[in-house]
Structure 1
Amino acid sequence: MAVVKACKILITGANRGLGLEIVKQLSENSFPKQHIFATCRDPDGPKSEALRELVKKHPSAITIIRLDANDPSSVKESAKKVGSLLGNNGLNLLVNNAGIVANGTIQTTTVEDMKNTFNTNVIGPLLIIREYLPYLQMAAKASGTPGMSSNKAAVINISSVAGSMTRMPSIYKHFPTLPYGVSKAGFNMLTVLAAEEFKADEILCMALHPGWVKTELGGDDATLESKESVAGMLRVIANLTEMQHGGFLDYTGETVTW
């Protein structure tokens, strides 16, 4: 099985759900010299207890960093903190996983839900990518190898079929999550345009759908356990090349239509 060999990895929304499982699986199969920066809104709060327990098991492999995707100053501070710990080889892998879901239709969605969902799911990742870009560029240059890969320098945006223009209409009546779908469609466009900008730096950028997963966000009716989803996503991430740059795949490696 392919292994994610990126040395320096940052994961947002790492205190629960998919983010926590990504940190768990990476730390259990830790590649030598690999270090994970696990970010969350409230590192000392009750919702981060599982992450803190994980750090106790792997103290040399994980550092918890405060990062609230909804707070630009928090994003800036996190980048300064991580930058001071990275060294000269930069950040190899940024996983934009933090996100929120809001239900609603054209008739029921509130302005507040639209603003909050868009701030967290689109503006937050935009600011995170911008603040961490210098460290990704540093890693790309330090690698000394041509081409693109997740081990060199990459941005992986954890998206959803809810953001797919072709897939969402057929499932909308079962999942009336207009704010979430609209924000994920924006997130997908952010991915495509970031990929366009990052070509010259050879920083890989793509969107990844984890499947419908049994998490706080996915709900109890979901069909997939987080362990299986994350194992699949890590296999996909480990095998990425420039061929998938700007693409949209699911956790099995299948292409998702935009």
Structure 2
Amino acid sequence: MKSVLITGANRGLGLGMVKYLTKKNEGYQIFATCRNRNTSEELKQLEQENANLHILHLDVTNTSSFDEISSQIKKVVGGNGLNLLVNNAGVTTKFTKLALVKREQLLDNLTVNTVAPIMLTKALLAHLKQASEANSDKPMGTERAAIINMSSILGSIAQNDQGGFYPYRCSKAALNAATKSMSIDLKKDKILVVSMHPGWVRTDMGGSNAPLDVDSSIQGIFETISKLREEDSGKFLQYDGSELPW
């Protein structure tokens, strides 16, 4: 892998991924997006310490800005393309009962968690195809080109035994459906696509009661990503590599 883009990199899992990759110091070109770099102190500090880290301003709800992101990536990677796209940026509403769910919650979650990953993947597809072609001697995976859609076990219809969470569940189930379609559409281009559940992690989104710390989740995510091959494309996986039911 030579280049990676991580959305929602100013905190939580996204920031954890950036820290992990910069610590490995393997020379990846790392693109980290955030809505406001002025409030992303840790990310800015990492950028100062790592010449291969590039902070890109991105509000994923502003899909009209995606072509500009594509142009900024092109300036760095040239003809090598983008090896790994991690659609990590996400939002969630707290537990929502049917009687209390609001239209705005549903639309906000769907926009950030489903629409944005699909449209950003579309905007960056040329770079992903370029990377796959440039590394045609490599097996299907991150050495060629891969898309990781950060999903959630709450998007699993089969494992829903609690109900509620309408905005978040629906948006992640829809993202899973998009992952499956992408894996079929991009198979001919040898671009791998999976949905990944990071575990219930202690972040601003996951809350303080979550059993898993960020470092353990990130370690598992990247170990799993590094092992992905063609037969894994289109799967719904947990951070530890185990397969989850749709």
Q: Which of structure 1's runs of 4+ aligned residues deviate more than 2 A? A: none
Q: Normalising by the residue count of structure 1, what TM-score does the alignment of the two structures yield? A: 0.92
Q: RMSD in angstroms over aligned alpha carbons?
A: 1.1
Secondary structure of the 2:207 match is: coil
Secondary structure of the 1:233 match is: helix
Secondary structure of the 1:56 match is: helix
Structure 2 stretches of 5 or more lacking a match? none
Q: Normalising by the residue count of structure 2, what TM-score does the alignment of the two structures yield? A: 0.97
Give 2:15's aligned residue. 20
Give 2:123's aligned residue. 131
Distance in structure 1 (CA, Å) of the matches to 2:58 and 2:46: 18
Distance in structure 2 (CA, Å) of the matches to 1:200 and 1:105: 42
CA displacement at 1:69 relative to structure 2: 1.0
Letter in 1 for 2:79: N
Q: Paired residues, what number? A: 245
Secondary structure of the 1:200 match is: helix
Match of 2:109 among 117, 120, 131: 117
Are 1:208 and 1:250, in contact at CA under 8 Å, matched by a contact in 2? yes
Secondary structure of the 1:88 match is: helix
- After TM superposition, the structure 1 = structure 2 runs for residues 74-223 of structure 1, keeping only pairs within 5 Å, are 74-103=65-94, 104-145=96-137, 147-167=139-159, 169-172=160-163, 176-223=164-211
Letter in 2 for 1:183: S
Match of 2:234 among 246, 253, 256: 246
Are 1:96 and 1:155, in contact at CA under 8 Å, matched by a contact in 2? yes
Give 2:35's aligned residue. 41
Letter in 1 for 2:65: S
- After TM superposition, the structure 1 = structure 2 runs for residues 60-75 of structure 1, keeping only pairs within 5 Å, are 60-75=51-66
Are 1:96 and 1:156, in contact at CA under 8 Å, matched by a contact in 2? yes
Give 2:46's aligned residue. 54
- Higher mean displacement: 187-196 or 139-148: 139-148
- Higher mean displacement: 142-151 or 240-249: 142-151
Give 2:25's aligned residue. 30
Distance in structure 2 (CA, Å) of the matches to 1:247 and 1:200: 17
Are 1:68 and 1:75, in contact at CA under 8 Å, matched by a contact in 2? no
Structure 1 stretches of 5 or more lacking a match? 1-5
Letter in 2 for 1:36: I
Distance in structure 2 (CA, Å) of the matches to 1:183 and 1:213: 19
